[in-house]
Structure 1
Amino acid sequence: MSRKRMGWSRWVALTLVLALSAMIAACGSGTKNNEGASAGNSTSPSAANTESQQPANDPQVEITIWDQVNPDDIGKLVGEELQKGFEEKYPNIIVKHELPPNGTNDREVFVTAMAGGNGPDAYSVAYFPVIGDWVKQGFALDLSDYWNGLADKDQYLKSAMEGATIDGKVYGIPNFMYATGLLYNKKLFADVGLDPNKAPANWDEFAEYAQKLTKPEKNQYGYALLGMDWADWWFEYYVWQAGGDLTTRNADGTVTLDFSKEPAVKALQYYKDLKWKYKGVQKNVLQGIDENKTDFFQGRAAMILFGSDGFAQLVQNGIDLNDIGFAPFPVGPAGKAPSQVGGQYWIVNPKTSKEKQDAAFKYVEYMTSKEALEKMLTFQSDNGIMPNLLSVRNDVDPSTFVQNVPAGLVAGVRKAAESTQLEYFLKERLSPYVVKAVQKVLVDEKADPLTELKAVEELAQREVADPYNKEIKE
């Protein structure tokens, strides 16, 4: 997802899989780009004669949710079915299902609407790395009392709740999450004499594999490296593997920048070596993620980083799932390689009335329930759609809804999800600075990783960290 989106959903923003995951969260919308869409709304009819948990004589309340089902959505029917199910359960809650306002970036659209007092009563696309910022900006309601009253709150994965739990308070309910790992082409492995069932285990093996899999005469290379857009998104994984992180969130809420510390320097040197020493990556290291994934789909890239939510893309692009492998990242000097976990939360508007907040949370609870998630998984199964293999709930197992998927893929996802880590603190604001250093060593062989990281760290300290820390202390 972006910084513009920080997370994996950006990877699938214009594909089927995000459309479906967003529908799980919001029954239809939540894509990154709504340009060309006409804003509109439809008011859901009540169903007063239907059995409901809410007495029919309760006061009627109307809420607005940005989840209008587009006519061309592949999951239109199941999306509307979920919305109707809520109407029948709560006939006194009238939901206006709207499309988000036009815009190229869903985060900017939401923030602009909230700042102007025009935000929805609940929103389903609060990404894991940005929810903290939105809490600080007053865009997310403290849901602790609602959360404590949930009978099935223990069914939500602890790793899914981590990003939404801030200073002991709960601000979001997860609707979608993914774990990342290494995706590789088994056929290309076999072609160069590598074991197709064995992923590289460490940095040395990874570099060796990338080098061996690079065949310029075949327009083939070993590893699709991300140097454009959100280069820090994948780069941070290597910092973790080297034993550190890019920032530290201190006990008092302030941030310390760790760009120039040893783990980050080691990681950037390794990145540089993959490009200049081993020559195991694409020639155009500044190409974007869409070009990277196209290279993998078309057999030009042998390895790429991937999320547990992306397998539908492979099928869409004609790839036999038996021809690919998925494994945890290779470990680095620190002897570890945590998977990045990311996803989306439902949040509730703190600026609306208590009556609307109560109703909005009922909608959130319904849309993240076992019933709703399994209804979506059943739809996907019935229509031959590969689901995200990682659920936000312990009592929902996506693999039981999948047929003809290699057991190795499911096992690989579960293995990668055993050790996870959230993206670095304050990533949304600091991303451009880290990206600048990453890109410099990828385009300039003479660039020194430590020098470049120190330069962007000093700049980020003045422009981001110092103002942020001052605000926190005030």
Structure 2
Amino acid sequence: MKKRIGVVAVLMLMVMAAIATGCSKDQPNGTNGDSTSSNNASKPSPTEESASNDAESNVPVDQIKITMNLKPDDGAVQEYKDMISGKFATFNEKYAEYEATATFYNYSPETFIPRIEAKKVDTMTYMWATETKPLAARGLLKPLDSYLDQVPELKEALNMEIVGQISRGDDGQIYSIPLDGYTQLLLYNRERFADVGLDPEKPPTNWDELTDYAKKLTDPDANRFGLQINGADGEAAWKFQNYVFQAGGEMESLVDGKWQATFNSDAGVAALEFMKDLKWTHGVAHPNVLTNQDESMRLLATGEAAMVLGDGWVVHQAVNQYGAQPSNIGIGLLPAGPQGQVGWQMGGSIAAFPNYASDEEVIAGLKFLYEYYFNIDKETVENEYLARVKGREIVGVPKVQVFSTNSDAAQMIKEAEQKYAVLPQTNIKFDPYVELAPGLMPEPPQEAQLLYKRLSVAIQTILTDKNADPKSELDQAAAEVNAILEKNVN
């Protein structure tokens, strides 16, 4: 699923933009200058004109021009527009041999692939993390390993474990730069735990404990249920894949050189049987199973559902939209499966280069990414975290760390998270900087959105028909997904 979490250098203003941005027409591509000349602007004096000509003469003749689709739309707040244009201006001032320009383009596979085949895309494109493998497999992206060696400051700043998760193609080469990330977590209502005698400091750690906790937390007469299962649209499969990972399975696999759906494996069947038991055998799931993640946050905030699966972003919804108290939200890792297998779905955003980008453009782009996203200082981090709190963001929610865990930037972020945390850090029942990464699992690398859509139908059938057979439903869904993969990928 497409997510919207930004790195520390831009997250606060992205949040502001998301709140303030409405449906507006696209702006033409180009820099987002703050001092656009008006029709009534006076003609420059001869002295000014001469100075301008002198400045132009100092621009290198062989200046490398690069673009990236970071230009805000018309509805974005002015502070966000100023921040974007300021970052581009700072880069251009620091590197006279380059000219970086922001363009406006909302990524989608439907438009990106024909554009890249026509050689009409930006030097770098901000896109979903799910896109690295499928685009690389089609030969559409530039491999970056050798170029990263030439921009050591960026390579040293990157969390290479995360790079390995979402930025490597099937051939082992790096095809993208991770810019931000999220992961699925167990969110729970601490008051509900305490009310039934469960320790809010000890969330369930495996499927058996999850079931036992959910039973104790369920009281249908009081409209109280142990957990909420999302069954709406593609979200059903998006959440379900966590259970597949915990059962030791995968959503897709490369078999004899071809991509195939493998969510109908024994592990996938065990995962869907588990979900079916939660709904029909144990009766611990909230009866409204065909809801989306937004509704889960309402149920968590009101206590109707004591536990939900969700990414860290939705904690902001629970608090700011539905009135949950940050002190009442507990966060734990998703419980391990029957064999102790851990796995929590991760996603995020990346930057990638088209296969036809020149060596000079790639080097310039990597330097730009370093300056824009990774070259941060303590004062900037402090100011942005303070602004995020003022903007009602629930600072302190665990997220995937794209910075090298040994870097100064990671330490700055960790200190700022703790200093400005709105969510009590004692409510997080694991160490995000140590325990999160080993269980991270990427989304399906091929046709993820279509896979989610088709698999969700099977899950919805199980959640609404207690006589439906998990194996049969998964086999049917896998056959349809395989037909899509055969047509579009293999």
TM-score with structure 1 setting the length? 0.82
Tell me if structure 1 keeps the 8 A contact 2:16–2:77: no
Determine which of 457, 462, 476 is the counterpart of 1:441.
Answer: 462
Is the partner of 1:43 in helix, strand or coil?
A: coil
How far apart, CA to CA, are the structure 2 residues paired with 1:225 and 1:136? Answer: 34
Deviation at 1:171, TM superposition (A): 0.7
Determine which of 377, 389, 401 is the counterpart of 1:391.
Answer: 401
Tell me if structure 1 keeps the 8 A contact 2:12–2:388: no
Deviation at 1:268, TM superposition (A): 0.5
Pairing of 1:92-241 with structure 2 (within 5 A): 92-100=97-105, 106-111=108-113, 113-115=115-117, 117-127=119-129, 129-152=130-153, 153-162=155-164, 163-166=166-169, 167-230=171-234, 231-241=236-246
How far apart, CA to CA, are the structure 2 residues paired with 1:159 and 1:354? Answer: 26
Is the partner of 2:248 in helix, strand or coil?
A: coil
Match of 1:36 in 2: 24
1:87 paired with 2:92, answer yes
Tell me if structure 1 keeps the 8 A contact 2:252–2:262: yes
Paired residues in the alignment total 445
How far apart, CA to CA, are the structure 1 residues paired with 2:78 and 2:194? Answer: 39
Pairing of 1:4-43 with structure 2 (within 5 A): 5=2, 9=3, 13=4, 18=5, 23=10, 35-43=23-31
How far apart, CA to CA, are the structure 1 residues paired with 2:28 and 2:381? Answer: 25
1:60 paired with 2:63, answer yes
Deviation at 1:261, TM superposition (A): 2.1
Tell me if structure 2 keeps the 8 A contact 1:185–1:302: yes
Match of 1:426 in 2: 446
Deviation at 1:209, TM superposition (A): 2.2
Is the partner of 2:240 in helix, strand or coil?
A: helix
How far apart, CA to CA, are the structure 1 residues paired with 2:146 and 2:397? Answer: 30
> What letter corresponds to residue 400 of structure 1 in structure 2?
E
Is the partner of 1:371 in helix, strand or coil?
A: coil
Tell me if structure 2 keeps the 8 A contact 1:93–1:359: yes
Is the partner of 2:125 in helix, strand or coil?
A: strand
Tell me if structure 2 keeps the 8 A contact 1:30–1:106: no
Deviation at 1:239, TM superposition (A): 1.4
1:295 paired with 2:282, answer no
Deviation at 1:22, TM superposition (A): 9.2
Alpha-carbon distance change, 401 to 112 in structure 1, aligned in 2, over 3 angstroms: farther
Deviation at 1:442, TM superposition (A): 0.9
How far apart, CA to CA, are the structure 2 residues paired with 1:29 and 1:319? Answer: 21
Alpha-carbon distance change, 267 to 257 in structure 1, aligned in 2, over 3 angstroms: same
Structure 1 stretch displaced more, 373-382 or 140-149: 373-382
Deviation at 1:159, TM superposition (A): 2.6
> What letter corresponds to residue 251 of structure 2 in structure 1?
L
Is the partner of 1:367 in helix, strand or coil?
A: helix
How far apart, CA to CA, are the structure 2 residues paired with 1:257 and 1:19? Answer: 31
Q: Specify every segment of 5 or more residues in structure 2 that has no aligned partner in the other structure, as ranges.
A: 35-50, 53-57
Structure 1 stretch displaced more, 213-222 or 440-449: 213-222
How far apart, CA to CA, are the structure 1 residues paired with 2:226 and 2:67? Answer: 48
Match of 1:319 in 2: 324
Determine which of 424, 437, 444 is the counterpart of 1:406.
Answer: 424
Tell me if structure 1 keeps the 8 A contact 2:67–2:123: yes
Alpha-carbon distance change, 305 to 249 in structure 1, aligned in 2, over 3 angstroms: same
How far apart, CA to CA, are the structure 2 residues paired with 1:144 and 1:417? Answer: 22
Any idea what the Cα deviations from partners look like across 1:261-296, whole Å, max 9, x if unmatched? 211111101111111122222323122222222332
How far apart, CA to CA, are the structure 1 residues paired with 2:27 and 2:309? Answer: 35
Any idea what the Cα deviations from partners look like across 1:110-130, whole Å, max 9, x if unmatched? 445435543222112231x22
Q: Specify every segment of 5 or more residues in structure 1 that has no aligned partner in the other structure, as ranges.
A: 50-54
**Identity value in percent:** 25
CA RMSD of aligned residues (A): 3.5
Alpha-carbon distance change, 381 to 26 in structure 1, aligned in 2, over 3 angstroms: closer
Is the partner of 1:440 in helix, strand or coil?
A: helix
How far apart, CA to CA, are the structure 1 residues paired with 2:103 and 2:157? Answer: 30
Any idea what the Cα deviations from partners look like across 1:394-425, whole Å, max 9, x if unmatched? 22142311324423345533433343222344
Any idea what the Cα deviations from partners look like across 1:23-78, whole Å, max 9, x if unmatched? 359979997x98434323442679x99xxxxx953623333321124541664554
TM-score with structure 2 setting the length? 0.79
